[in-house]
């Protein structure tokens, strides 16, 4: 930790990705938080949220770069996604006018804004960032997994029962990235790398066409010492299940997203060559995740 460096300003620092960024940072960090946090070496906690202009001004004052990680993944309606991913981004941009570099965490979902309310909100947030004068970079990660992730927890629970799912048909492909690889990329981009650019990064498998859903399910099973039975779910059935609301987490919005055949990252790893590269292969990352889930009592 070099205390002489200007701090990095981070939103979303108490979330899944943000906590790993804090843990891996090698320079002082100023982090926004809605709730009191325990002291952490090298971290200055700034009380407030994305709706608090004074807190955002304090967060950004004198910062070398902003890492805008905060966002809304689940919301009941378009207004909820807009508040977190569009209005929230606008507020951080307004506070960061004098900050030299702005690193914005988006999603591959922004590539297809017509498929989901989430993707539409992330695309709208990206558009605001692209209007910023000066230096910015938008990072669009694929599926992020790793220790502490609750979003993919159900897939591990299914694999423990000997089952896996393959939504969207046999041709559907996805990219993935371990949370630590994503955190390292964001920290590297805080001070170097492409400017005024959108980068899509992954675990390195994107160059070979990404992962199939079935392959991902089998890999999770392998980390658990199981050989799961893979249940294919065609896109039409997936959308029908989403519309029926029989599965609480499978909203129509999420069903349309999952049914899309191509969520493979394109070209970002090559653009960051020499600055960053993924270190954690899928098998290693899933084993790491399983150890953590077991320690938490999640499996």
Beta-carbon neighbour count of residue 151 at 10 Å?
13
The pTM of this model reads 0.95
CATH of domain 1-140: 3.40.50.720
Going from the C-alpha of 233 to that of each of 85, 163, 211, 244, 279, the distances in angstroms are: 30, 13, 16, 15, 32
Sheet containing strand 197-200, edge to edge, reads 43-47, 29-33, 8-11, 65-68, 101-105, 135-140, 197-200
When pLDDT is cut at 50, 70 and 90, the band that residue 1 belongs to is low
Give the three-state DSSP class for 293. Answer: helix
Average pLDDT of span 145-154: 94
Could you read off the pLDDT of 57-91 as tens digits, one per residue? 999 999 999 999 999 998 889 999 999 999 999 99
9 within 8 A of 34, measured Cβ to Cβ? no
Structural domain spans, the chain: 1-140
Place of tokens 């950004």: 60
By percentage, how much of the chain surpasses pLDDT 90? 83
Average pLDDT, the chain: 93
């Amino acid at each position: 930790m070099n205390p002489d460096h200007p701090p990095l300003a981070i939103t979303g620092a108490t979330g899944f990705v943000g906590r790993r960024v804090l843990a891996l940072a090698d320079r002082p960090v100023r982090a926004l938080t809605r709730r009191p946090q325990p002291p952490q070496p090298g971290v200055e906690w700034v009380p407030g949220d994305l709706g608090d202009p004074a807190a955002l001004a304090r967060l950004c004052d004198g910062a070398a770069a902003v890492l805008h990680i905060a966002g809304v993944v689940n919301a009941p309606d378009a207004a909820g996604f807009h508040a977190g991913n569009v209005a929230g981004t606008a507020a951080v941009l307004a506070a960061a006018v004098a900050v030299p570099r702005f690193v914005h965490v988006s999603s591959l979902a922004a590539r297809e804004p017509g498929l989901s309310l989430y993707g539409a909100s992330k695309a709208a947030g990206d558009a605001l960032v692209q209007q910023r004068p000066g230096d910015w970079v938008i990072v669009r990660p694929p599926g992020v997994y790793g220790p502490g992730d609750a979003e993919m927890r159900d897939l591990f629970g299914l694999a423990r029962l000997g089952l896996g799912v393959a939504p969207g048909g046999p041709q559907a492909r996805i990219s993935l990235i371990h949370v630590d690889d994503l955190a390292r990329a964001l920290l590297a981009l805080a001070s170097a790398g492409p400017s005024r650019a959108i980068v899509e990064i992954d675990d390195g498998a994107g160059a070979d066409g990404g992962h199939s859903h079935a392959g991902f399910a089998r890999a999770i099973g392998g980390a658990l010492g199981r050989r799961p039975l893979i249940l294919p779910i065609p896109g039409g059935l997936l959308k029908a299940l989403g519309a029926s609301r029989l599965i609480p987490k499978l909203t129509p919005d999420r069903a349309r997203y999952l049914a899309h055949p191509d969520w493979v990252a394109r070209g970002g790893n090559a653009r960051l060559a020499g600055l960053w590269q993924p270190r954690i292969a899928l098998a290693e990352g899933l084993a790491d995740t399983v150890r953590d889930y077991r320690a938490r009592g999640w499996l």
